[in-house]
Amino acid sequence: PAAAMGTFAKRLGQLSARSLESESRNILRTSGANKIPGSLALALDGTLKQGHDMRIFGLGTAASMSSVPRYARFTASMHAVYSSMEEELDRSVDASPAIRAVWQRHGATLRRAAALEADLADVVSDV
């Protein structure tokens, strides 16, 4: 019976891993935002896939969420990136028609600094 329980637990672990892998694949395959022809998301998605090993990228992202301190560090880093990007694009919008077009079209979606700041405020007290 103990051996059978170990086999059962092993098989259950294998099935759950396969299920999670399938769900992740399904999310990537069916996400609509990255499938819109000509969208910024589609262009960035293609660039990301060309320049990164997506398995390592995914593992790094998962590792950054494995504990509250790691998530806080990750969120603080993302806040710094998005804050800098938003400030620079806000300053540069009049300097370039291309920047103006992208920022006017996608600015509402790309602005994440405030949301990241709120996320960070939620977790910092837990660190």
With b for 16 or more beta-carbon neighbours within 10 A and e for fewer, the 106-125 pattern comes to: eeeebbbbeebeebbeebee
Whole-model pTM: value is: 0.56
Distance from first CA to last CA of the chain, Å, rounded?
43
pLDDT tens, per residue, the chain with 127 residues? 555 556 776 666 666 665 554 555 665 566 665 567 777 777 777 777 777 777 777 788 888 888 888 888 888 998 999 999 999 999 999 999 998 998 998 888 889 999 999 988 888 865 4
Closest CA to 58 of 23, 108, 83: 23
